[in-house]
């Protein structure tokens, strides 16, 4: 269209929508992990013990059914979990999973994340038999309670509540340490390691041994 004053053609007006469409958005470049991140990923994959996740399915009856998230849970799914828990007994693994579910309960509901945390703790300990698996399950439950009472102590406003939470926290922490020591003794067959740092021999031929670790970690001189 011509300008009535100058007689020149007016420049065509561009549509805002068309202008926006013409501004091509460059695709985001995929993230390239660093060498440290790649190495960490490889270590994680090598360390991980692959087992099916345990699912807690609430039923209309009010009960909660525990199922393995696997295409064939009754056979291959349970075999993977049994191997990771150091057992060849299906009855053992079935009851232990139920016990873990009860320990992971929040009232009538089972905390699925906590339940699978318990299973991950057991897998990380790598039990070699059923006794080690049971002890690992107890350690997982005791650790969970320890952290719960640590949270209660941190948030307790009343002095009586703080004292109660502190006493329980100390008992649980000592119990966990005792469980860890029991696992070590069981795996080593109860053997004690004696470490001698220095031996002094007097002129009379009598040897004095220093820093010898004996039963219970005591030192003899």
pLDDT 10s digits, 62-119: 889 999 999 999 999 999 999 999 999 999 999 999 999 999 999 889 999 999 999 9
pLDDT at 199 over 90: no
CA pair distance 72, 169, nearest whole angstrom: 41
Q: Are residues 158 and 220 in the same domain?
A: no
Q: Are residues 182 and 202 in the same domain?
A: no
Structure tokens at 36: 């440290």
pLDDT at 190 over 90: no
Q: Are residues 184 and 201 in the same domain?
A: no
Give the pLDDT confidence score for residue 4 in this predicted structure: 47
- Overall pTM > 0.95: no
pLDDT band at 49 (very low <50, low <70, confident <90, very high): confident
- 137-167 pLDDT, tens digit per residue, is 999 999 999 999 999 999 998 899 999 999 9
Taking a C-beta distance cutoff of 8 angstroms, is the pair 116, 153 a contact? no
Bridging pattern class, strands 64-68 and 54-58: antiparallel
Highest mean pLDDT among 88-97, 187-196, 197-206: 88-97
Tell me the torsion sign for CA atoms 57, 61, 63, 66. Answer: negative
Q: Are residues 172 and 90 in the same domain?
A: yes
Q: Which DSSP letter does residue 205 get? A: S
CA pair distance 192, 188, nearest whole angstrom: 9
Give the pLDDT confidence score for residue 183 in this predicted structure: 98
Q: Are residues 138 and 202 in the same domain?
A: no
> Where is pLDDT greater, at 131 or 23?
131
Neighbours of 56 (CB within 10 A): 19
Q: Are residues 56 and 141 in the same domain?
A: yes
Q: Which DSSP letter does residue 8 get? A: P
Mean pLDDT across 22-26 = 64
Tell me whether residue 210 is in a domain. yes
pLDDT band at 47 (very low <50, low <70, confident <90, very high): confident
Residues in the chain: 221
Give the pLDDT confidence score for residue 108 in this predicted structure: 87
Taking a C-beta distance cutoff of 8 angstroms, is the pair 197, 211 a contact? yes
Q: What is the total count of domains within the chain?
A: 2
Q: Which helix (H) or strand (E) holds 202?
A: none
Q: Which helix (H) or strand (E) holds 57?
A: strand 54-58
Count CA atoms within 13 Å of residue 82 on its CB side.
16
Mean pLDDT across 35-44 = 92
User: What sections of the chain are H helices per DSSP?
Assistant: 16-22, 35-47, 78-84, 90-103, 112-125, 130-155, 159-188
Taking a C-beta distance cutoff of 8 angstroms, is the pair 42, 33 a contact? no
Tell me the torsion sign for CA atoms 154, 156, 157, 159. Answer: negative
- Mean pLDDT, the chain, as a whole number? 83
pLDDT band at 5 (very low <50, low <70, confident <90, very high): very low
Give the pLDDT confidence score for residue 14 in this predicted structure: 55
What range does the domain containing 207 cover? 192-221
pLDDT at 210 over 50: no
Taking a C-beta distance cutoff of 8 angstroms, is the pair 116, 55 a contact? no
Give the pLDDT confidence score for residue 24 in this predicted structure: 63
Percent of the chain topping pLDDT 70: 74
Give the pLDDT confidence score for residue 144 in this predicted structure: 98
Tell me whether residue 60 is in a domain. yes
Beta bridge partners of 64: 58
Tell me whether residue 131 is in a domain. yes
């Amino acid at each position: 269209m011509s300008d009535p004053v100058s007689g020149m053609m007016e420049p065509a007006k561009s549509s805002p929508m068309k202008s926006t469409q013409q501004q091509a958005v460059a695709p985001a470049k995929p993230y390239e992990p660093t060498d440290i991140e790649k190495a960490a990923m490889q270590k994680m994959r090598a360390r991980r013990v692959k087992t099916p996740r345990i699912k807690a399915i609430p039923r209309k009856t009010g009960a909660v059914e525990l199922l393995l998230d696997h295409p064939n849970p009754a056979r291959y799914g349970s075999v993977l979990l049994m191997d990771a828990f150091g057992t060849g007994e299906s009855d053992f693994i079935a009851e232990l999973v139920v016990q873990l579910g009860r320990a992971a309960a929040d009232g009538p509901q089972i905390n699925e994340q906590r339940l699978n945390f318990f299973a991950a703790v057991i897998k990380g300990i790598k039990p070699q038999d059923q006794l080690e698996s049971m002890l690992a399950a107890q350690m997982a439950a005791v650790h969970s309670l320890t952290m719960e009472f640590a949270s209660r102590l941190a948030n307790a406003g009343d002095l009586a509540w703080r004292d109660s939470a502190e006493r329980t926290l100390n008992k649980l922490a000592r119990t966990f340490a005792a469980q860890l020591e029991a696992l070590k003794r069981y795996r080593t067959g109860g053997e004690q390691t004696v470490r001698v740092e220095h031996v002094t021999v007097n002129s009379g031929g009598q040897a004095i041994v220093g820093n010898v670790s004996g039963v219970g970690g005591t030192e003899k001189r």
